[in-house]
Amino acid sequence: MHHRVVNRRNPNLKVIAPNVWEILSLGWTNESLHDAQLKDPSIGPALAWLEAAKKPSWSGVESKPPMLRTLWTQFDSVAAE
């Protein structure tokens, strides 16, 4: 059995808070993540719809990638934070 040892005075951030460690080690910020999401062709348009609180017509989405079409169908249950 393998046990992780965490020094309570100087805990290993990677062990106790891996998400925070990843964000800090990669230099991500809320703004940089938001910008990257907006540039992603599969989710960027959906994020823009959510931020504008405006769902486009199906005719404007039907020829788009599958992920984007799926997000369109879930528009009413998806939230952006």
For 18-27, how does the pLDDT look when each residue is reduced to its tens digit (9 = 90+)? 666 676 777 7
Domain count for the chain, please give it. 2
End-to-end CA distance of the chain: 40
Which domain does 70 fall in, by range? 40-81
Residues 28 and 56 in one domain: no
Show Cβ contacts of residue 75 under 8 Å, excluding neighbours closer than 6 positions.
46, 49, 50, 55
Residues 81 and 60 in one domain: yes
Tokens found for residue 44:
């960027």
DSSP-derived 3-state class of residue 58: helix
Residues 24 and 61 in one domain: no
Angstrom distance (rounded) from CA 68 to CA 45: 8
Higher pLDDT, 7 or 59: 59
**Tens of pLDDT, residues 40-79:** 988 899 999 999 999 999 999 999 999 999 999 999 988 8
Residues 18 and 32 in one domain: yes
Quote the pTM value: 0.63
The number of angstroms, rounded, from the C-alpha of 24 to the middle of its chain's C-alpha atoms is 16
Residues 4 and 30 in one domain: yes
